[in-house]
Structure 1
Amino acid sequence: MYVVQKNHLRLSKADFSVLFRVAHRCKNLYNTTLYTIRMHFNQTGEYISWKELYHLLKAHPNYTDLSSDHAQLTIRKVRQNFSSFFELLKKQKEGSYTEKVGVPRFLPKDGLFQIEFISRQIRREGRFLRLSLGRAKRTLGVGYIYVRVPRNIENRLITGVRIIPKFRSYFEIEFLYEPDIILPELDSSQYLGIDLGLDNFATAVSTRGTAFILEGRGIKSFNRWWNKQKGKLQSTYDKMGLKSGRKMERLQIRRYNTVRNYLSHQVNAVVRHCIEHRIGTLVIGDWGDMKRGLRMRKHVSQSFQQIPFALFRRKLQSKAELHGIEVVMQEESYTSQMCSNCGLIRKSNRVHRGLYRCSNCHMERNADVNGAINILRKVVPEEVFTGFRWNSGDIISPRRLKLVSFRL
């Protein structure tokens, strides 16, 4: 198994200029490839083969301006996008996909595209990687770019590097390597259920009798602050007749980094809890397409829509599986209305945002803990679920974990 580590790439002005030009040439080739594929499809009704596409493009200036490896990887990326497009069309015809499917679009004229390096373009020189630019040296005047290897992967064999432009202001770098993972001893018959929300970003309950809540009010407040700052800047730009500017770019970069840092901390906390308590199965509540087309009050909708729960699920699933933890995505219908003690479903039992009081058995419990237990109920075998005392340990009074501080 290979993993990817992403870092902010710090460069000299000269190196930044070189990578900027290469990324711009990759964008040009991307658009040229996209145009060629679309024209061929419009004229023949068929998807062009790789061999035919290669022979059409190999003499094009946008192809020869790049090394052959960079050029072919860029072309393959366009073909991957088209393959995804046709696959979605197929699912749409079958009725398993209901959203609008759009053909891959051209990148902006002044845009940039990722630069990918494979193993034969990478050479280790001490604590640095030498990345070859190939025949692009003829027009760039530079044949190599040197990047420093992060300390935590200095001893790893790096087999691939991807440089990704962000906001036209900086580059991110991804290192592909094979980690040395020692799988912990886990019990697959022990479960941890997770209920996602806003003020309580994630509420987790396990069959070990443990429970904790990941604080969500910080990221919610940060989003509110970010929207206010963005609105003020956009108003100023509108008066000046501008679409965007440096301040807006810096604001977007700050949000991008803040949100991903927050999600990484939450993911680490969940996986660490599973390893410490030898929990082998993770059950995550899945909303499906609930966000799409959702109608709610403006201030609630803004907070709800802008927190990337799907990204959190993907990151959590990836890290959990890396450590040998099985992940189950479970739809959570009626989990907030059902009593986790007697099974009664009644909406009015949710008396407050944070309190569930059953009108039948008079059980009182934190509403999100109640939801997490009900998510587990859908997956955990009945004999395990009924044999566990759900009124013990941390479940009565779950720990609240605040892992990240926000500076506004």
Structure 2
Amino acid sequence: MASLMKKTEQYQALPAKVSQQVLRGLDKNWQSFFAASSEFKSHPDKFLGKPKIPSYKEPNKGRNLLVYTIQALSKVGLRQGLVKLSGTSIALPTRVAERIAEVRIVPKCDCYVIEVIYEKTEQFLAPNEKIAALDLGIDNLMAVTSNQPDFIPLLINGRPLKSLNQFYNQRRAKLQSLLKGNRQSSQKIHRLTRCRNQKVDDYLHQASRYLVNLLVEQEITTLVIGKNDGSKQEVNLGKVNNQKLVTIPHRRLIEMISYQCQLAGIKVIIQEESYTSVANFLNDDPLPVYGETTEKPVFSGKRIKRGLYRTDRGFLCQSDVIGSYNILRKAFPNAFNRYGIEGCVVHLRRINLSK
């Protein structure tokens, strides 16, 4: 394709290496479409809808990701500690010039973001029996537990994110009500969205970094994260709670945690989490997979209100902590055989990150 396009004005408007990356991205999009279409024919239940063909960019306002490989960066600039993109006046100071792999210019709603991708050596941790588990939520962004008897369960506050999303949704609705004609958006809405996304990303980075630092400190080598495929599409908690859950980017948080754990030498397991919020961890209730049995499971405890779980013996426990322990037990049924489970959910810590 490059040989067919290299004489066109669009191809020549960029450095050759960058134009080649654009074409490779296009090829990847088509390959993904063909693969998804084939999978859709065999397993349509895995999709929310029929895969759509890659579409054209809008002629005047359409923007595309640009990738500058190391060959498209100024060698002189790198020796001077600068990331200078060929054919542009963009130059950024860097302290990792010798490890840079590529630079991306990513179009956002009202700006461009420059991402510098560099190589970093992964750490190695000798495998052990120390396991942690993570239950993602709204008011409590993360409930963290472990099979280690000296690990105090902790809840990382998610209310700042909920408050931020509430303000964003209200402000966006107000700005949309002021639009005239058939307009769907405006510069003010784009700016509001960008600011919201930046603040959300910052909070998720703080939360994921705090978690990974804690795991390294505790010498935990395996992390289990509870997640159900399609959970946000299928959730029905009422209009208000649906909006709160869907606007919390749990997938983005999982990505941040996963790559930071990889660098730290910690193995990450994504665990299906059906029934983990209603099973009694202290009684070792069964944890079936939703839809794989026709019998309705019976549990020895129940959630009596938001955030509170009562066991059959009358013990009151924090429900997200119970869910996190069950996620761990579902992935590793024998994880608590060595130390037992008595007293696991008696104490907990609440963590408030800086805003």
Q: TM-score range by the shorter chain?
A: 0.7 to 0.9
Corresponding letter in the other structure for 1:397: H
> Percent same amino acid at aligned positions?
27
Greater gyration radius:
1
Change (3 A) 1:127 1:162: same
Q: How does 1:46-61 map to 2 (within 5 A)?
A: 53-61=1-9
Correspondence 1:328-339 to 2 at 5 A: 328-339=269-280
Out of 182, 189, 194, the position equivalent to 1:253 is 194
1:365 is matched with 317
Q: 2-side partners of 1:241 and 1:103: how far apart?
A: 26
Runs of at least 5 residues in structure 1 that lack an aligned partner in the other structure: 1-52, 134-143
1:190 matched to 2:141 = no
Q: Deviations over 1:246-293 (max 9, x none)?
A: 321220111110111111111111111110000000000012111114
Q: Which residue pairs with 1:99 in the alignment?
A: 48
Return the alpha-carbon distance in structure 1 between the equivalents of residues 53 and 63 of structure 2: 20
Moved over 4 A (4+): none
Per-residue deviation, residues 53-105 of structure 1 (Å, max 9, x unmatched): 33432222222222221211111101100111111112112216333211111
> What SS class does the counterpart of residue 350 from structure 1 fall into?
strand
Q: 1:161 aligns with which of 103, 106, 109?
A: 103
Equivalent position to 1:73, from 13, 21, 26: 21
Seen in structure 2, the aligned counterparts of structure 1 residues 287 and 347 have a Cα distance that, compared at 3 Å, is farther
In structure 1, what is the equivalent of residue 289 of structure 2? none
* 1:120 CA drift (Å): 1.7
Shift of 1:242: 4.1
Aligned-CA RMSD value: 2.0
Residues 83 and 97 of structure 2 are in contact (CA less than 8 Å); yes or no, is this contact kept in structure 1? no
- Report the equivalent of 1:207: 147
How has the CA–CA distance of structure 1 residues 195 and 219 changed in structure 2, closer, same or farther, with 3 Å as cutoff? same
CA distance in structure 1 between the partners assigned to 2:251 and 2:30 by the alignment = 23
Distance (Å, rounded) in 2 between the aligned partners of 1:375 and 1:88: 30
**Which aligned pairs between 1:286-365 and structure 2 lie closer than 5 A?**
286-344=227-285, 345-346=298-299, 349-359=302-312, 361-365=313-317
Instruction: Give the letter for the 1:388 counterpart.
Output: Y
Partner of 1:231 in structure 2?
173
Task: Give 3-state SS (helix, strand or coil) of 2:225's partner.
Answer: strand
1:155 Cα deviation (Å)? 5.6
- Answer whether contact 1:156 1:179 (CA < 8 A) is retained: no
State TM-score, norm by structure 1.
0.77
1:222 is matched with 164
Corresponding residue of 2:85: 131
What amino acid does structure 2 have at the position aligned with 1:132?
S
Contact 1:190 1:281 in 2 (8 A): yes
- Structure 1 residues 379, 244: closer, same or farther in 2, change over 3 A? closer
Residues 376 and 226 of structure 1, relative CA distance in 2, 3 Å threshold: same
Query: By percentage of residues, which structure has more helix?
Result: 1
In structure 1, what is the Cα distance between the partners aligned to 2:300 and 2:179?
Answer: 47
Letter in 2 for 1:269: Y
- Kept in 2, the 8 Å contact 1:117–1:131? The answer is yes
Q: Unaligned regions of 5+ residues in structure 2, if any?
A: 286-297
Q: State whether structure 2 residue 203 is matched by structure 1 residue 262.
A: yes
Give the alignment's TM-score, normalised by structure 2.
Answer: 0.88
Deviations 1:105-148 (A, max 9, x none): 11222122122111122121523222212xxxxxxxxxx42422
